[in-house]
Amino acid sequence: EAEVAQSPRYKITEKSQAVAFWCDPISGHATLYWYRQILGQGPELLVQFQDESVVDDSQLPKDRFSAERLKGVDSTLKIQPAELGDSAMYLCASSVRSDTQYFGPGTRLTVL
């Protein structure tokens, strides 16, 4: 069964450092999403791609976060510099157009 792949699974970094997360969506899924999930809360959308284009990045803190999906397949989310409040689970999901979203295992980020 096809799955969304994410790496790394865990990342510990110090504040002010740069971190990057990678996501490979299910093959054929044109729409890719990055979410942030704080413990005890539901996922919150950071950015949505349709192929290589950004569809929605209204909740992305653009002063420190960036995301790209250059060839319309895999994607990278970067934080620079990381802050203590960025500690969370970062989830990637993909879908065919904007239908049911399938999530990857997530990257647990801890900022010290």
Closest distance to another protein from the beta carbon of 44 (Å): 7
Q: Residues 4 to 23: which contact another protein by CB under 8 A? A: 4, 6
Residues near 68 by Cβ (< 8 Å), separated by ≥ 6?
A: 75, 76
Q: Is the peptide bond before 105 cis (omega within 30 degrees of 0)?
A: no
> Collapsing DSSP states into helix, strand and coil, what is residue 59?
coil
Closest distance to another protein from the beta carbon of 105 (Å): 5
Interface residue with another protein among 31, 34, 43, 49 (CB under 8 A) is 43
Of 81 and 105, nearer to another protein (C-beta) is: 105
Give the number of residues in contact with another protein, rule: CB under 8 A: 22
- Compute the distance between CA of residue 111 and CA of residue 84 in angstroms, rounded to an integer: 5
